[in-house]
Chain A
Amino acid sequence: MKIGVFVCQCGENIGKTVDCVGVAKSCASIPGVAVSMEYKYMCSDPGQNLVKQAIADNGLDAVVVAACSPHMHEKTFRKAANGAGINPFLVEIANIREHVSWIHDDVPSGSLKATDLIRSAVEKVKNNAPLTTIKVPVTKRALVIGGGISGIQAALDIANAGYEVVLVEKEPSIGGHMSQLSETFPTLDCSQCILTPRMVEVYQHPKIKLLTYSEVEAVDGFIGNFKVKIRKKARSVIDEDCNGCGMCIQKCPTKKKAYSEFEEGMAFRPAIYVPFPQAVPNIPVIDRSVCTFYKTGKCKICETVCGRKAIDFMQEDTILEEEIGAIVVATGFKLYKITKPEPGSPYEGYGEYGYGEYKDVIDGLQFERMASASGPTAGEMKRPSDGKEPKKIVFIQCVGSRDESKGFSYCSKICCMYTAKHAMLYKHKVHDGEAYVFYMDIRSGGKMYEEFVRRGIEEDGAKYIRGRVSRLYEENGKIIVKGEDTLAGVPITIDADMVVLATAMVAQKEAPKLAQILGIPYDKHGFMSESHPKLKPVESSSGGIFLAGAANAPKDIPESVSMASAAAAKVMILFSSDILEREPVIAQVDESTCVGCFYCQKVCAYNAVERKEIKDRNGKLIKVVAYVNEGLCQGCGTCNATCPSKSVELIGFKDEQIFAQICALNEI
């Protein structure tokens, strides 16, 4: 092998404290080095030409450049060498600027170190093999899971960039929690008014395939090349035939058989229903657990009244398969319920607040529905027990959140804001009412957020009391609230007409299951984990899978939307080329020596190691070995260091390469 060594002076940057001429001279005597030269600015055009020329003149096979950090110019020199016909992976960099000249003043010892580093690079390059970047084709079709505001935003952004999107929502309608909100902080604009147009846009978008009442069942493959199985649950209504006239809903006799999920249990719905009037798609679904026909075999009134013959009692779940290039997970959150915990649940309920026994103790979403003009009380403040207007209302913040003893250590981030909103909405509706807010801290970091909270206190007269409530109980039609004002140091008891609990935003119950299907990590609370908390907040750790909105952590609407657009941008970056090029630094298994212990599989954080069956000519299974999926492997090399039989090696950083470097540095 003929190797060329090129020592850069970087003007005075290297030249001043490293004897470049001397170094180049002594490197010439390293076995295998055919030419060794120095130059003032190696990265400049003349410098690069010098390298190219030397390659051509000497018929070099490999190149070592001793210059600045590889993070600066590795790419530059790989490209230059490639221009002269050398495989880019036969170029190694010795960092003699950041790691030598800039940190050492002593010329002799600095020069010695520079020589050592070059020798180490030379020995490594001798063991390098020509490699080609990995090219994977990209299916330019995105899957968005979850149709809340985050999923809607991501789907629209990607679709508007011209790519196809499959949007999967598990409920009968898209819209998520935002569709339940009355007005939104910090502007108090109507939630439905800004959301509905976007829902409709999704429905009408030619590039978006909307699958509601559907769930992702399996995901195979890797970045650019996923295969996704989606279960479309039986609606009992044929989508294509239904025109959303609503006759079936009107005539269904089971008017009060089920609590409306959308109204948070404060109203009823029949067996056949759409969650709310603006639902998208406006196609009803039959809840088979409630429908008289499914229970007794009689009724079918809906079928009779349906002019479009759209009811299909025999409909079954269908499984769709989709080819997908990138995935956005936007499955949102759930609100913590204070009811008694289910057996086996790691979370404690709120016994001291009555485990949800008292009718006039409601949660934030129930308040949203009560405040909403289209809600069960048509926007009037009427407490659930007797429909009276509450004159004294107490809001309690941090219920569930920041409560280690209930299992949730984190702050839910939005409840300070929505409580302030609730107090304001209440005061706007009940002018002679009193609103008290029990809080621990007010967290209102955001544009116009603090000003919003102050307005609630200063203009609308909400009374804020710093302290956690110890107990709630019902006495004579009042909810007795036992608190302490920790600022004044006095106990406070309030006989409230209604109490609203700002309960924690928690992960979807099924989120861990979905994360496992996708092969992405989730935190101990069930929120999907980002790849890096600062620099890769929308990437999951699996290539091609991105996160948006409250599925990742408690978030408000502006944050959810920004994250969704960011995730969409990441998808578009991926889709902007037909093929994906990746450094070939990936692990590779030697099937002949692999003993199939799968320790490598256990340590791989990317699920990149798969099982592969080796069969003989007759199809008889000989053994099962590890196989590294190129698309998933990120090249960390952990498997390599773990393998007891040394059967999996990280290309570019193989054992021989590192050994060669070690030996070169420590010549006895």
Chain B
Amino acid sequence: MAENSFEPKITAFVCNWCTYTGADLAGTSRLKQQTNARLIRLPCTGRIDPVFIMKAFQNGADGVLVSGCHPGDCHYNAGNFHARRRWAMFKEMMDFLGIDNKRLHFSWVSASEGKKWVDVIDGVINTVREQGPFTQYKDINKETEIPVK
């Protein structure tokens, strides 16, 4: 694939109640977006394990987005709070593995923020596109012992 026509693959882990519904709203409002993102619906950002993110990068995702309810609005009281505490750890892990932080993004998008969702997702896609293809996954596979399926 030529450098200028590179289209990144983005895996987005989103919570069912806020961001997934917000993305639905963007759809019902017919708000056009780039096609690069693929969503994985989870009950809550609290369910998101750092391993999911590693797994996505290992398998060749060029960028990852994690998005859930706004702080204080979590459908499950505090799940996103625990998630946020974990995010700091993700960042460190990314540094350790030498993955640029511009490939991993976090955001809060509520069920009513269709427009925000579009801004977020397009922003992430553009940023990751600037980074170029992610090729270090093989190195990660060597460094970490998470078996690739």
Contacts and interface: CB of A to CB of B under 8 A. Distances in A.
Decide if A and B touch, CB cutoff 8 A: yes
Given A102-B27, A120-B40, A636 B55 contact: no
B76 to A, nearest CB: 4
A640 B49 contact: yes
A105 B43 contact: no
Contacts of A98: 23-24, 26-28
B11 A665 contact: yes
B127 interface: no
A634 to B, nearest CB: 6
Interface of B, helix, strand, loop or mixed by DSSP:
mixed
A113 B37 CA distance: 8
Contacts of A641: 46-50, 82-83, 86
Interface residues of B, number: 45
Interface in A576-634: 585, 603, 605-606, 634
Contacts of B52: 658-659, 662
Central interface residue in A103, A106, A532, by most chain B CB within 10 Å: A103
Given A603-B82, A636-B43, A666-B9, A106 B35 contact: yes
A545 to B, nearest CB: 13
A667 interface: yes
A532 to B, nearest CB: 8
B31 interface: yes
B43 A658 contact: no
A104 interface: yes
Contacts of B33: 103-104
Given A103-B33, A637-B46, A662 B59 contact: yes
B31 A103 contact: yes
A663 interface: yes
B49 A636 contact: no
A608 to B, nearest CB: 11
B149 to A, nearest CB: 5
A590 to B, nearest CB: 16
Given A605-B76, A655-B49, A70 B41 contact: yes
A116 B40 CA distance: 11
A102 B31 CA distance: 8
Contacts of B21: 71
A69 B43 contact: no
A120 B39 CA distance: 10
Task: List 6 A-B pairs, minimum CB-CB distance, nearest first.
Answer: A98-B27, A637-B47, A638-B46, A636-B76, A666-B59, A605-B77
Interface of B: 7, 9, 11, 20-21, 23-24, 26-28, 30-33, 35, 38-44, 46-52, 55-56, 59-61, 73, 75-79, 82-83, 86, 137, 149
